């Protein structure tokens, strides 16, 4: 795994790309990023839920969830970059969803919430740039109630050996341009969530052969408040 960019560096990058992020990410992923968002919201979020969208960015996942939770639910959009959240807020106003969402600046490594306070948590392409993606994943697990679900999409390595080699060569080149790479690299967090006691209820690889994503859902079992999450 490539060494992550520092948190201040990531914040600066996402500040700078906030207005073009949606186009850039969709373009570089051939729109498969949105497919992952749809899959997770469809399978994780239900009407009336209290949801955390972690690393919410410009709100593409969080606002989709806000539509699904309805008037009885709530979605908190948390992101490192206030400028990304400002774009998300503009979208929420346009979509008439402002009463269902809240916006909060924060670091996924240290979520400012008590244990077991959300029905569901979502992370779409926000673990990939983190200094410690496993820590971020365990924070998601911590704040979801027993019986709740965590939906994650993140970059993965190609399963084919030749494609994996080729992808690494290209990524090494792209890594020199942080405003293009956005600090993203393939990560692995599913094992640590299973070790914490999570149960896999859905897993699928999507995207382009050279730059796939893994999309998965973990269910936190009843009694999960007693499970070790660190």
- Residue 73 placed within a domain: yes
> Could you give the C-alpha distances from 143 to 105, 146, 184, in angstroms and in order?
17, 9, 24
CB 129 within 8 A of CB 183: yes
Cα(132)–Cα(187) distance, rounded to whole angstroms? 10
- Residue 181 placed within a domain: no
* Mean pLDDT score across all residues of the chain: 94
Q: pLDDT tens digits for 75-98? A: 999 999 999 999 999 999 999 999
Determine the pLDDT at residue 2.
Answer: 73
Could you give the count of Cα atoms lying within 13 Å of 98 in the half-sphere of its Cβ?
Answer: 8
Determine the pLDDT at residue 228.
Answer: 43
Other Cβ atoms closer than 10 A to 115: 12
Cα(18)–Cα(27) distance, rounded to whole angstroms? 15
Range of the domain at 81: 7-176+190-222
Beta strand spans in 13-143 (E): 50-54, 74-79, 101-105, 118-124
Cα(228)–Cα(150) distance, rounded to whole angstroms? 16
Confidence of residue 6 (pLDDT cuts 50, 70, 90): very high
User: Does residue 230 carry a pLDDT above 60?
Assistant: no
- Residue 229 placed within a domain: no
- Residue 28 placed within a domain: yes
- Residue 161 placed within a domain: yes
pTM: 0.93
Determine the pLDDT at residue 54.
Answer: 98
Determine the pLDDT at residue 35.
Answer: 96
User: Does residue 135 carry a pLDDT above 50?
Assistant: yes
User: Does residue 140 carry a pLDDT above 90?
Assistant: yes
CB 168 within 8 A of CB 228: no
Determine the pLDDT at residue 197.
Answer: 97
Determine the pLDDT at residue 1.
Answer: 61
Count the domains in the chain: 1
- Residue 227 placed within a domain: no
CATH number, domain containing residue 36? 3.40.50.150
Determine the pLDDT at residue 3.
Answer: 82
The average pLDDT across 22-40 equals: 94
Q: pLDDT tens digits for 196-229? A: 999 999 999 999 998 899 999 999 998 744 444 4
Other Cβ atoms closer than 10 A to 209: 12
Give the number of residues written for the chain: 230
- Residue 2 placed within a domain: no
- Residue 143 placed within a domain: yes
Q: pLDDT tens digits for 53-69? A: 999 999 999 999 999 99
User: Does residue 10 carry a pLDDT above 80?
Assistant: yes
């Amino acid at each position: 795994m490539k060494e992550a960019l520092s948190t201040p560096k990531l914040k600066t990058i996402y500040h700078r790309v906030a207005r073009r992020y949606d186009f850039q990410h969709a373009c570089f992923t051939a729109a498969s990023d949105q497919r992952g968002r749809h899959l997770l919201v469809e399978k994780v979020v239900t009407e009336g839920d209290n949801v955390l969208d972690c690393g919410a960015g410009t709100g593409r996942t969080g606002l989709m969830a806000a539509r699904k939770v309805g008037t009885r639910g709530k979605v908190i959009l948390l992101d490192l970059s206030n400028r990304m959240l400002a774009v998300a807020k503009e979208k929420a106003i346009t979509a008439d969803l402002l009463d269902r969402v809240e916006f909060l600046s924060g670091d996924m490594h240290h979520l400012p919430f008590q244990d077991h306070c959300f029905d569901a948590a979502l992370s779409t392409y926000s673990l990939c740039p983190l200094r410690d993606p496993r820590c971020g994943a365990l924070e998601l697990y911590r704040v979801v109630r027993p019986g709740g679900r965590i939906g994650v999409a993140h970059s993965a390595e190609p399963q084919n050996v030749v494609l994996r080699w080729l992808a690494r060569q290209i990524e090494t080149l792209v890594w020199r341009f942080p405003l293009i790479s956005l600090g993203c690299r393939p990560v692995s967090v599913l094992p640590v969530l299973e070790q914490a006691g999570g149960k896999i209820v859905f897993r699928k690889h999507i995207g382009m052969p050279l730059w796939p994503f893994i999309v998965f859902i973990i269910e936190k079992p009843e009694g999960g408040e007693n499970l070790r999450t660190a």
